[in-house]
Amino acid sequence: MNRYKQLLAFIGPYKMRLALGVFCMIVAAMGYLVVPWLIRNVVDEVLQDKNMAMLTIIVMAILVIFLIRGFATYGQNYTMAYVGQRVVIDIRETLFKHLQRLDQAYFDRRKTGIIMSNITSDVGALQQAIVDNLISFMTEGVTLVGSLVFMFYLDWKLSLLTLIIVPVVLGLTNVFGKRLRSAGHEVQGRTADITAFLQEVISGVRVIRSFAREHYEFGRFQKENQNNFDAAMKATKLTALMSPMVEFSAAIAVVVILWYGGYSVVQGYITAGSLIAFLIYAINLSNPVKRLTQVYGNLQKALAAGDRVIDILETEPHVKESETAKPLAHVQGDVQFDNVTFSYDGEGLALNGVTIHAKPGQTVAIVGPSGAGKSTIANLLPRFYDVTGGCIRIDGVDVRDTTFQSLRENIGLVPQDTMLFNASVKDNILYGRLDATDEEVLAAAKAANAYEFIEKLPEGFDTMVGERGNSLSGGQRQRIAIARAILKNPSILILDEATSALDTESEKIVQEALERLMKNRTALVIAHRLSTIKHADHIVVLQRGSVVEEGTHDELLACGGVYSHLYSVQFSAKE
């Protein structure tokens, strides 16, 4: 119930519409309750006394009741559908906004497909939990209570006999409800697994085809699909089993009514019309009980999705903005890593006592073998993660004391794996600064050596680049990313192996654009190809998370250490 209350809180802004919907529900439900009473009058007064005037009044009353009920049903369905859709939109937006707050580690631990499933299928299931089932619960609840009131009015002894079956129904509902909630968790989990699998396969379709593994992947998909089917059938089996058991219990109540009610009519305790009306109310009673058990089962399955959504909303980011954080202003670009220690998992150290100082306008290259901790440097400066020990300062200010917005606005990141959005070339460049003019976008493209190839595209700057920019070559994507960084105009640059995936010709063009980008900016260049950082002002060599050497290119070659070895290996391989 606590989880359900958290979900119901999203209905708050629409309580007036909800009240209107509830009013329409009550009016529609009352239409069912009045008709049996009119039928009682038909049997006891019209048929017995042959009163045609009364028959005409009753017939007209039934027509009016169903007309009013029709309008009420329309109002109920439209109003509640509106509330339901708005609630789903609000939950989805809240979830998306909260995901934006979570740190990088959260996304590293979870599959993309599962997060997508949380926002799509889980939130969609919540519409049933919050609105659809709420409508059924209220409608059937009004019918149930109203039927009981009329039944007690007609014959309280017969009503008490009928209610003996209620504890049995409640017991069955409770037992099945717990199992259905567990089954619902499994169904949502299996659905998320399929989404994650599809996302992975579609993203890696080129690799799959290159290894001719289409049949293998189809086999994996069949397995995931079968698991989803098994979970769904388990939930369906429980739902299908609960309904007939409840119906059989209701049948027992009807048998009791028929026997005792017939006896009462024969003895003259009640009229035949009252017994018929009582039977109709009893049927009205059994149907809501049956539907309410179904609603309860559906609610339990839907709340399994609710658990997953609430779990995300209750997840707090490890990297948080301090309440006393202040914006960075007039950044000069003095970057210091002071005895920085960091661990991704709390066990092994990715960085161990690293100290690096990049003065304003300097280019500092960070090199080392794979796994030395180079990319960790790029993750820590913009606070994608927080240091485990030591601190990082910009212009003498600890980055943990600054606002995320101001920190990241002053840092430009050009990664190896360039991420472009499925939008136009212009929109991808504009991502660097959304309020830039067309002239500024054009200038950034020229500075990034991208203008020439953009002009040759089918629609120029308005050409759609496709998902992740797949319609462009690696060098073209990288130049658009550089144009985006130029437009952003940051004080500090991080180049994370920005040319390592390019061919020689593309690398030359991109390197020229990068040099133009780095001019008059502090740049941390994480490099795999040592030939690209010969002219760096300072080079830091990392090995196993620690600084083992530092100096200029010539100084490090003269030392004959790790850098010299790496350079000679690359040079020999090139030769």
Residue ranges of the domains in the chain?
A: 7-313, 335-574
The predicted model gives 452-460 an average pLDDT of 89
**Is the pLDDT confidence value at 501 over 60?**
no
Better-scored residue on pLDDT, 193 or 342: 342
Look at residue 301 in the predicted model and tell me its pLDDT.
66
Q: Where are the alpha helices (DSSP H) in 102-132?
A: 104-108, 112-117, 123-127
**Is the pLDDT confidence value at 90 over 70?**
yes
Look at residue 573 in the predicted model and tell me its pLDDT.
47
Look at residue 575 in the predicted model and tell me its pLDDT.
41
Look at residue 289 in the predicted model and tell me its pLDDT.
67
pLDDT tens sequence across 324-367: 889 988 889 899 999 999 998 877 888 999 999 999 989 899 98
The predicted model gives 431-448 an average pLDDT of 88
- How far apart CA 494 and CA 394 sit, in angstroms, is 14
C-alpha torsion 77→81→83→84, nearest 10: 130
**Is the pLDDT confidence value at 391 over 90?**
yes
Better-scored residue on pLDDT, 130 or 362: 362
Look at residue 28 in the predicted model and tell me its pLDDT.
83
DSSP state letter for 413: E
In the chain, pLDDT over 70 holds for what percent of residues?
85
Vertex 414 angle, CA 411 and 418, to 5° = 140
Task: Pick from 153-167, 297-311, 415-429 the range whose average pLDDT is largest.
Answer: 415-429
pLDDT tens sequence across 214-236: 788 888 888 888 888 888 888 78
What pLDDT band is residue 389 in, cutting at 50, 70 and 90?
A: very high
Q: Are strands 492-496 and 335-342 parallel, antiparallel or unpaired?
A: unpaired
Look at residue 508 in the predicted model and tell me its pLDDT.
76
Dump the DSSP string for 509-553: HHHHHHHHHHTTSEEEEE-SSGGGGTT-SEEEEEETTEEEEEE-H
Look at residue 531 in the predicted model and tell me its pLDDT.
72
**Is the pLDDT confidence value at 275 over 60?**
yes
Q: For residue 177, what are its two tokens?
A: 């409800």
CB of 220 closer than 8 Å to CB of 176: no
Phi-psi region of 202 (alpha: psi -120 to 50; beta: other; left: phi over 0): alpha
Which residue in this structure is represented by tokens 């299931």?
Answer: 125
Look at residue 286 in the predicted model and tell me its pLDDT.
63
Q: What are phi and psi of 90, to 5 degrees?
A: -65, -45
Enumerate residues 6+ apart whose C-beta is below 8 A from 382: 407, 408, 411, 413, 494
Look at residue 563 in the predicted model and tell me its pLDDT.
84
Q: Is the full-model pTM beyond 0.75?
A: no
The predicted model gives 119-128 an average pLDDT of 76
CB of 481 closer than 8 Å to CB of 414: yes
Q: Would the CA dihedral through 413, 414, 416, 420 be positive or negative?
A: positive
pLDDT tens sequence across 51-73: 777 778 778 888 888 888 889 88
pLDDT tens sequence across 135-168: 777 777 777 787 778 778 877 777 777 776 667 6
Q: For residue 318, what are its two tokens?
A: 């490890």
Lowest mean pLDDT among 193-197, 388-392, 569-573: 569-573
**Is the pLDDT confidence value at 392 over 90?**
yes
Q: Which residues pair with 357 in a beta bridge?
A: 336
Look at residue 151 in the predicted model and tell me its pLDDT.
77
**Is the pLDDT confidence value at 499 over 70?**
no
Look at residue 423 in the predicted model and tell me its pLDDT.
87
Look at residue 336 in the predicted model and tell me its pLDDT.
94
Q: Work out the angle between the directed axes of helices 438-447 and 474-488 (0-180°, nearest 10).
A: 130
- How far apart CA 418 and CA 507 sit, in angstroms, is 14
Question: Which listed CATH number (3.40.50.300, 3.40.50.2000, 3.40.50.150, 3.90.470.10) goes with 335-574?
Answer: 3.40.50.300
- How far apart CA 366 and CA 259 sit, in angstroms, is 91
The predicted model gives 197-206 an average pLDDT of 73
What pLDDT band is residue 177 in, cutting at 50, 70 and 90?
A: low
- How far apart CA 255 and CA 249 sit, in angstroms, is 10
Q: For residue 39, what are its two tokens?
A: 């039928």
Task: Report the chain's mean pLDDT, rounded to a whole number.
Answer: 80
Residue 260, CA atoms < 13 Å, CB-side half-sphere: 16
The predicted model gives 291-313 an average pLDDT of 74
| Residue 324 amino acid letter | T
Look at residue 173 in the predicted model and tell me its pLDDT.
65
The predicted model gives 482-495 an average pLDDT of 87
**Is the pLDDT confidence value at 104 over 70?**
yes
- How far apart CA 196 and CA 191 sit, in angstroms, is 9
CB of 158 closer than 8 Å to CB of 257: yes
Element (H, E) at 339: strand 335-342
Look at residue 387 in the predicted model and tell me its pLDDT.
92
Question: Which listed CATH number (2.40.240.20, 3.10.110.10, 2.60.120.510, 1.20.1560.10) goes with 7-313?
Answer: 1.20.1560.10
Q: What are phi and psi of 365, to 5 degrees?
A: -95, 140
